Amino acid sequence: MKIYGVALLAVCFLTGKFLGNLLGKLIGIDSDIGGVGFAMILLIGSSIYLRKKGWLIPETEKGILFWSSMYIPIIVAMAATLNVKAALSGGFVAVVAGIVTTFACMLLVPVLSKIGQNDKHPKI
């Protein structure tokens, strides 16, 4: 049944969020550190394990895949509920600081991507 897949996703999600908040508490900040990341790792791990056991059948997986296909509409809804006016009313500092720092970090992507890329033919 599809609900088994949704339930598996829910248990990974909640456990991940719990771990994220626990980590936050341990470090002394009242926020979620990497909850989504932990949840993703849990989901990947448990799906590999359950598939090996033969318990994760396609019908169950459909419950997870449905939510995975819903994220684009959700992102559209999220974009429509952002505080865009505040972004522009924060003044020139906000616009400059937001854009310049982000752009600089984007330019670092090709530099840092080289780390751990063990391609057989390194480009010269």
Partner 1 sequence: MDIIEKVIAKNGLIFAFLFVGFVMLFSFIISRKLLRNKIPGVAIAILAGLSLAFLGDQKGIANIPLFAGMAILGGSMFRDFAVVATAMSADISKIKQAGLAGIIALCAGVTVTFALGATIAYFMGYTDAVSMTTIAAGAGTYIVGPVTGTALGASSDVIAISVATGVMKTIFTTIMTPIIAKRIKLDNPHAAVVFGGLIGTTSGVVAGLAATDEKLVPYGALTATFYTGLGCLLFPSVFYLLLTLLGF
The first and second tokens of residue 32, run together, are 């979620």
Residues 85-104 that bind partner 1 (CB under 8 A): 85-104
Counting contacts by CB under 8 A, is residue 80 touching partner 1? yes
How many positions of this chain bind partner 1 (CB under 8 A)? 78
Counting contacts by CB under 8 A, is residue 73 touching partner 1? yes
Least distance from partner 1 to the Cβ atom of residue 3, Å: 14
Counting contacts by CB under 8 A, is residue 60 touching partner 1? no
Rounded distance, CA 93 to CA 18, Å? 36
- Residue closer to partner 1 by CB (options 54, 112) is 112
- Residue closer to partner 1 by CB (options 54, 79) is 79
Q: At what angle do helices 2-27 and 35-53 cross, to 10 degrees?
A: 140
Counting contacts by CB under 8 A, is residue 124 touching partner 1? no
Contact residues for 47 (Cβ-Cβ < 8 A; gap 6+): 8, 56, 61, 64
Least distance from partner 1 to the Cβ atom of residue 98, Å: 3
Residues 39-58 that bind partner 1 (CB under 8 A): 39-41, 43-44, 47-48
Q: Which of 4, 5, 8, 6 is nearest to 42 (CA)?
A: 8
46, with CB counted inside 10 A (0-12, 13-18, 19+), is: middle
